[in-house]
Amino acid sequence: MLREINGTSVMIWLSLLGKPNYLIYSLLLKEYGSAEGIYNAFLAGRKPESIRAYENVLTAFADPGLAAQAADISNKAAERGMKTVTLNDGNYPYKLRNLPSACPLVLYYYGEINEEDFSEGGISVAVVGSRHCSVSGEANAESFSYELSKRGVNIVSGLARGCDGAAHTGALKAGGRTTAVLASGADVIYPPEHRNMYNRIIRSGGCVMSESPPGTAPCKQLFPARNRIIAGLSDAVIVVEAAKKSGALITADRALEADRIVFAIPGDVRNPMAYGANELIRQGAVCALDVGIILEELGIIDENAVKRKPGNGSAAGLPYPQNAVYNAILHGASTADEIAASVQIDISEVAAALTLLEVRGLIKNVTMGMFRAS
């Protein structure tokens, strides 16, 4: 029997229709105007024209059992003390909301989603790496996270063994907040030996979240999806250690697609776990020799709280001084000398920023030494 369900359950129902669920939702939204309008179309037995090309989704749309499943998931979350936030809610993470390709329709979580961490003005940094990291890799993940957390940066990672666990530990030792994104339901602790860490994250004012419904067991297919959320929540991603084929590299790829800054900590070339980070540096990632480099790129000048240099930082996904150079070009400066004079930056820094902006495809060298926005 068809039944009415509340707004949260409607969004859960929409998330169950099929992948990519944000695209499906966008198509249906254009056709029916709102989530409730979409659900009313289902109740009325309509066949949406906008998703005709998605046969499986169209079949799911007509399935009355899916609406009942959504209501059951909502009830199960409430019974387990789990909170939910949907794309239509005001407290949905701002950084994730502005990445349509990454944003889940529903997040299930324990703890608190702190608006200041995921707002336009706050700073969150993902620290990721191999589960089978070296002793130095684990130490780097913890120490970098500790230093960033001391300065008010929210540390985002995946609660996994190795670098992820070390990143959360560093943030907790600093007395800061940290966010764990799981490749399971938010109530399924994986790996099980991280139960104490999981509980400490929640007690410390942080958050454990997932896009998977309560009770979902971890599986291989969920990890890449989890990694895109980690990247989407963050202003930057630090890759500590990663083998040639690593989930950390997937996170870095998602970060680049989202125009986030990617840092990599260089490692011993004889260590297979250092290959991924070293390769990222070769491809243009920022070489994070120490935390100071990260602080400078993020524009953090106060050691006790997150404050950006005036006019600097990565408001448009660009670190300083790339953003200053890019703005100067947008306002008419075209040569390195003109840009240096406009933004009062050393000519060598301007030259380096121009190279990176050109690699990103944001500017073009139209004639010898003259640049314009692409």
Task: For residue 218, say if its preceding peptide bond is cis, omega within 30 degrees of 0.
Answer: no
In the predicted model, what is the mean pLDDT of residues 112-116?
89
Per-residue pLDDT tens digits for 131-155 = 988 999 999 999 999 999 999 999 9
Pairing, β 236-239 against β 261-264: parallel
Instruction: Work out the number of other CB atoms within 10 angstroms of the CB of residue 20.
Output: 11
In this predicted structure, which of 52-56, 103-107, 253-257, 302-306 has the lowest mean pLDDT? 302-306
Taking the C-alpha atoms of residue 228 and residue 221, their distance in angstroms, rounded to an integer, is: 12
pLDDT at 309: 45
Confidence of residue 257 (pLDDT cuts 50, 70, 90): confident
* Structure letter (DSSP) for residue 92: S
* Structure letter (DSSP) for residue 300: B
Contact 373, 341 (CB under 8 A): no
In the predicted model, what is the mean pLDDT of residues 267-290?
89
Contact 176, 154 (CB under 8 A): yes
This prediction's pTM: 0.79
Per-residue pLDDT tens digits for 209-234 = 999 999 999 998 899 889 999 999 99
CA geometry: angle at 238 spanning 313 and 281, to 5°? Answer: 95
Taking the C-alpha atoms of residue 192 and residue 199, their distance in angstroms, rounded to an integer, is: 12
**Half-sphere exposure at residue 68, Cβ-oriented, CA atoms within 13 angstroms:** 6
pLDDT at 318: 58
Q: What percent of the chain has pLDDT over 70?
A: 92
Taking the C-alpha atoms of residue 131 and residue 128, their distance in angstroms, rounded to an integer, is: 9
On average, the pLDDT of the chain sits at 87
**Which distant-in-sequence residues (6+ apart) come within 8 Å of 165 by Cβ?**
159, 194, 197
Confidence of residue 192 (pLDDT cuts 50, 70, 90): very high
pLDDT at 217: 96
Taking the C-alpha atoms of residue 41 and residue 124, their distance in angstroms, rounded to an integer, is: 39
In the predicted model, what is the mean pLDDT of residues 224-245?
90
Instruction: Work out the number of other CB atoms within 10 angstroms of the CB of residue 363.
Output: 23
Indicate the helix (H) or strand (E) that contains 157: strand 154-157
Higher pLDDT, 93 or 301: 93
In the predicted model, what is the mean pLDDT of residues 14-36?
90
Per CATH, the number for 322-373 is 1.10.10.10
Confidence of residue 264 (pLDDT cuts 50, 70, 90): very high
Distances (CA, A) of 152 to 9, 29, 60, 176: 35, 38, 44, 7
DSSP string, 27-65: HHHHHHSSHHHHHHHHHTT---STTTT-HHHHHHHT-HH
Per-residue pLDDT tens digits for 311-325 = 444 333 456 677 778
pLDDT at 247: 79
54 token code pair: 């998605």
* Structure letter (DSSP) for residue 140: H
pLDDT at 142: 96
Rg (CA), the chain: 22
Task: For residue 191, say if its preceding peptide bond is cis, omega within 30 degrees of 0.
Answer: yes
**Which distant-in-sequence residues (6+ apart) come within 8 Å of 104 by Cβ?**
15, 21, 22, 87, 96, 211, 229
In the predicted model, what is the mean pLDDT of residues 52-61?
91
Contact 80, 52 (CB under 8 A): no
Contact 299, 313 (CB under 8 A): yes
Per CATH, the number for 111-298 is 3.40.50.450
- Residue spans of the domains in the chain: they are 7-79, 111-298, 322-373
Taking the C-alpha atoms of residue 158 and residue 181, their distance in angstroms, rounded to an integer, is: 5
pLDDT at 311: 42
